[in-house]
Amino acid sequence: MAGTTASPQADPFEGRPIRWGFIGAGGIAHTMADTIAASAKSTLVAVAARDGERARQFADQHGADAAYDSYAALVEDPDVDAVYISTTHPFHQDNALLAIAAGKPALCEKPFTLNAAQADEVFTAARDRGVLSMEAMWMRCQPLIRRAMDLAQDGTIGNVVAVQARMAVRVDYDPTHRLFDLANGGGSLLDLGVYPATFAWLFLGRPDTVQVTGSLAPTGVDDSVAMQWGYVRGASAQILCSSSGAGEPRAMVIGTAGTIIVEPSYQDPPAIVVQTDAGEEGITSEKNGFGPELAEFERCLRAGLLESPLVPHGDTVGILRVLDQARTELGVAYPQEDH
């Protein structure tokens, strides 16, 4: 159950900052390091990368004391309270299980794993070990996304009948680029499609039917994918992701009495627009970046929660299961998966 605890407890850190260790030192890790630096409740103490010199450079840049060329050494570091994982998709499962086996809570970048079965294994291991685990789906923690969900649930726009969401980022085809590398978990669904799929799930939940169409890159990864989700109650969702198209991420929630528009960049929206018969209302916010996601993990960890109610395990697994189905229909399978 979302938000369950092993047992009620006081803040295990007694008010001191949570000490973070990073597995991975790529671009997104720099963003999280900057976010941690701005938090009074967290601090970065260690980083590990396959290239030890890269880890040392990252550590020096962000003020971490320890740098490792071994992930195992990082999770065994007694000064590390929690682990942030930002390696590429095929390594998420092993990296998360490594941290969990060492008794370290894990915040793992999206997509949480390559597929639903891997995600379920990680979450089961975390619950059995009694440690918090969470997908780093920052969109779910953004204040305006939460506000839009509240407006949809309180009847402001009536009953939700449709959701539309797209994510298109043009990347010139290069078979060596990670996005086109099948062995490295490439494809638009896992990199891009996880966002519109999560958005639709937030407002409509698990679909009853899924229709899929799309195209593949020469390397065998999915390039552009469109999904139509159907619900027995009559609602639907239209989801698009593409690594060959371009345009601002846009999303819309359509109800029987109005519409909520979230654009641009619904991962961290600066505004939402609510349109009803009473008129149009704009609700704005500062860009929040990874701040709300980090704050949610901090809150859950200090409270002794094993999962976040904002990013529940069941949703992470369920969304991956839909993406698994879409990949199967398109004929995309990763070499790391059991067949």
Query: How does pLDDT run across 257-299, given as a tens digit for each residue?
Result: 999 999 889 999 999 999 999 999 999 988 899 999 999 999 9
Outline where DSSP puts E strands in the chain. Answer: 18-23, 42-48, 66-68, 82-85, 106-109, 133-136, 160-168, 209-216, 222-230, 236-242, 247-255, 258-262, 271-276, 279-284
Give tens-digit pLDDT for 313-331: 999 999 999 999 999 999 9
**pLDDT of the residue at 67:** 98
Q: In sequence order, what are the residues at sequence separation of 6 or more whose Cβ sits closer than 8 angstroms to the Cβ of residue 72?
A: 98
Instruction: Read off φ and ψ for residue 261, nearest 5 degrees.
Output: -105, 130
- Residue where the block lists tokens 């008794």: 103
Is the bond preceding 270 in cis, omega lying within 30 degrees of 0?
Answer: no
**pLDDT of the residue at 164:** 98
pLDDT beyond 60 at 3: no
Closest C-alpha to 69, from 89, 86, 49, 85: 49
pLDDT beyond 80 at 302: yes
Instruction: Read off φ and ψ for residue 127, nearest 5 degrees.
Output: -65, -40
**pLDDT of the residue at 9:** 60
Residues in the chain: 339
Give tens-digit pLDDT for 40-56: 999 999 999 999 999 99
Give tens-digit pLDDT for 209-230: 999 999 999 999 999 999 999 9
CA 329 to chain centre: 23
**pLDDT of the residue at 66:** 98
In the predicted model, what is the mean pLDDT of the chain? 95
∠ CA 190-135-164 to the nearest 5 degrees?
50
pLDDT beyond 70 at 37: yes
Instruction: Read off φ and ψ for residue 139, nearest 5 degrees.
Output: -55, -40
CA atoms within 13 A on the CB side of 332: 33
DSSP 5: B
CA atoms within 13 A on the CB side of 40: 1
Gap between the terminal Cα atoms of the chain? 30
How far is Cα 241 from Cα 39, in angstroms, rounded to an integer? 33
Window from 30-34, 206-210, 225-229, 335-339 with minimum mean pLDDT: 335-339
Angle of the 313-330 helix axis to the 194-204 helix axis, nearest 10: 120
Pure H helices in 170-284: 188, 194-204
C-alpha dihedral sign at 147, 150, 156, 158: positive
The percentage of the chain sitting over the pLDDT mark of 90, rounded to a whole number, equals 91
Arithmetic mean of pLDDT, 27-45? 97
Spatial contact of 20 and 48, defined as CB atoms under 8 Å apart: no
Q: Please state the pTM of the whole predicted model.
A: 0.94
| Pair of tokens at residue 231 | 């619900």
pLDDT beyond 50 at 5: no
Which amino acid is residue 26, in one-letter code? G
